[in-house]
Amino acid sequence: MTSKIHPVLLCGGSGTRLWPLSRKSYPKQFARITGAESLFQTAAMRLSGAGFAAPTVVTGNDFRFIVTEQLAACEIAPRAILIEPAARNTAPAVLAAALSLAAEDPQALMLVAPSDHVIPDADAFRAAVRAAAPRARAGDLVTFGITPDRPETGYGYLELAPGAQAAASIPQPLARFVEKPDAARAAEMLAAGNFLWNAGIFLFTAETLIAAFRAHAPECLGPVEAAVAGAARDLGFTRLAAGPWADAPDISIDYAIMERATNLAVMPYAAGWSDLGGWDAVWQESGPDTAGNVVSAHATGIDCADTLLRSESDRVELVGIGLRDIIAVATPDAVLVAHKSEAQRVKEAVAALKAQGVAQATELPVDHRPWGWFESLVIGNRFQVKRIHVHPGAALSLQSHHHRSEHWIVVQGTAKVTIDDREQLVTENESVYIPLGARHRMENPGKVPMVLIEVQTGSYLGEDDIIRYDDVYARGQGAKG
């Protein structure tokens, strides 16, 4: 039996409440919101080091290469990356991780954590985890409860059992889970002093959790067991079997297990936490100045107070004048302006944009791929101009297009270009033409990033006009594969 704690990082969410920075194509856990690293990287680093095993990550197909790239950047090697065929909420995801770990050690101690939270004091959090470990090893389901500092209506709550201590340094008895309250009820719970915020962070052994599913949510157990048993290895990933996974209920672990189980305990935590559930939370966690303002690079505030001004582009200068309690976030292709009290309604805006078929609802102008990324600079009638960045040693798939031809102009580094049966090196300030229908590939054989400008012309310029013949990333067909 191992004594190490096994982090399980959940990173399949879409993070729509932080639009326009967070979108379905690149959600908030992978973005740099409050520091130099992404939220996902910060979570992985927080749950690493002495006493922690390599993490198990549960994510979606479109994010698998982002996960590996970001983990590599902070020098963390995962134990496993489980690919969900479809999003089924947290209960199936956590159960799949438990089954995967139990195959190696049924007593493996799992620390389940979302990958998009902010916990500033990593040492304090690790100490809380260590304090909770004996109770989890003894067979309890331990959840982490955050000491509330305001009557928050955006979080669920945990009610302590009679006699439990909200400021204790060891796990306490838990009476029940409480749904998100209205403002009056939230104020009552804050005043009562025996309620904590539900952080959605859990500690238990794999064996204990599987037994809980067997007792309280057997409808989950069969499909997820079959999905894990039928999983296939794909490069460095473990793809859960799609057929049985589709039969798993779409349900959270709170509803499936935690609200039904009796072997519950809560570990109080008071050293700072946020789920960054809206731009108001980002404002709060970013350390407002003496006027209450948070102003990013490429943003300027004049006579503003309690306001967030954030520009995500060095080509967009954001200026606010005379603003009070305002959130203004600018990206190269979208701008959000909202009163801080309405921050939770950003999801409504995303839904409205989706209903209108607006690409900005879900897609960023920068599209991340396993070989690098590209950015659409100009889109017109029958033409598109892109900037393409290829990592050192990376290669795009061998592919062709039905509807477009391409010109490539290298502006940094050297490209190794294949066109049908011809191969050549193209260096800075040189260009090459890819005729419609030609099989082609670009590679970066160098040690520095390679950047080129691509000019597409044709009757259809969509990313799904790609026929792949060979791909080192085994992506199959489709826009991303």
Do 320 and 344 fall within a single domain?
Answer: yes
Indicate whether 359 belongs to any domain. Answer: no
* Domain termination residue (choose one: 237, 269, 301): 269
In this structure, what CATH number is given to the domain that contains residue 73?
3.90.550.10
Strands 141-146 and 264-269: parallel
Report CA Rg, the chain.
24
Question: Is the CA virtual torsion 289, 295, 301, 306 positive or negative?
Answer: negative
pLDDT for residue 29: 94
**What one-letter code names the amino acid at 102?**
A
**Which residue range(s) make up the domain with 293?**
280-353
Is residue 476 included in any domain, yes or no? no
Residues 264 and 286 in one domain: no
Mark whether 226 and 320 lie in a shared domain: no
Burial 161-174 (b: 16+ CB within 10 A, else e): eeebebeeeebbeb
Residue labelled with tokens 């967030």: 308
Q: For residues 341 and 247, state if they share a domain.
A: no
**Cα–Cα dist 179/189, whole Å:** 12
Identify whether residues 232 and 285 lie together within a single domain. no
Claim to verify: residue 342 and residue 442 sit in the same structural domain: no
Q: Does 170 map to a domain?
A: yes
Domain membership flag for residue 480: no
User: What's the confidence (pLDDT) of residue 152?
Assistant: 87
Question: Quick one: 49 and 179 in the same domain?
Answer: yes
For 17-74, strand residue ranges (E) read 56-60
- Specify whether 31 is located in the same domain as 141: yes
What pTM does this model have?
0.88
Same domain, 335 and 406: no
Check whether residue 55 and residue 84 sit in a common domain: yes
What pLDDT does residue 306 have? 98
Give the pLDDT of residue 481. Answer: 43
In a domain, 182, yes or no: yes
Query: Would you state the pLDDT for residue 2?
Result: 54
Q: Are residues 303 and 399 in the same domain?
A: no
How far apart CA 154 and CA 225 sit, in angstroms, is 33
What is the reported pLDDT for 354?
Answer: 95
CB 74 within 8 A of CB 38: no
Domain final residue pick, 313, 329, 353: 353
Ramachandran class of 46: left when φ > 0, alpha when ψ lies in -120 to 50, beta otherwise: alpha
DSSP conformation letters of 155-185: S-EEEEPTT--TT-SS-EEEEEEEPPP-HHH
How far is residue 118's CA from residue 132's CA, in Å, rounded to a whole number?
20
DSSP 249-275: ----HIIIIITT-SSEEEEEE-S--B-
Among residues 60, 112, 84, 95, which one has the least CA distance to residue 256? 95
Domain containing 433 — which CATH number? Answer: 2.60.120.10
Closest by alpha carbon to 12, among 64, 55, 70, 49? 64
Say yes or no: 60 and 128 in one domain.
Answer: yes
pLDDT given for residue 478 in this prediction: 61
Residue 381 belongs to a domain: yes
The pLDDT, as a whole number, for residue 1 is 43
Closest alpha carbon to 245 in 370, 134, 92: 92
Helix/strand/coil for 481:
coil
Per residue of the chain (481 residues), give pLDDT as tens.
Answer: 458 999 999 998 777 899 999 998 889 999 999 888 999 999 999 999 899 999 999 999 889 999 999 999 999 999 999 999 999 999 999 999 999 999 999 999 999 999 999 999 999 999 999 999 999 999 999 999 999 989 988 889 999 999 999 999 999 999 999 988 999 999 999 999 999 999 999 999 999 999 999 999 999 999 999 999 999 998 889 999 999 999 999 999 999 999 999 999 999 999 999 989 899 999 999 999 999 999 999 999 999 999 999 999 999 999 999 999 999 999 999 999 999 999 989 999 999 999 999 999 998 889 899 999 999 999 999 999 999 999 999 999 999 999 999 999 999 999 999 999 999 999 999 999 999 999 999 999 999 999 999 999 999 988 888 999 998 888 767 655 4
* Residue 361 covered by a domain: no
Q: Which of 222, 247, 269 is the last residue of a domain?
A: 269
Mean pLDDT of the chain, nearest integer: 93
Residue 316 lies in a domain: yes
List the structure tokens of 260: 């039904």
Q: How many domains, the chain?
A: 3
- Cβ neighbourhood burial of 271 (10 Å; 0-12, 13-18, 19+): middle
**316: Cβ contacts below 8 Å, ≥ 6 apart:** 298, 330, 331, 332
Residue linked to tokens 């039904």: 260
Q: Which two tokens stand for residue 80?
A: 């496993």
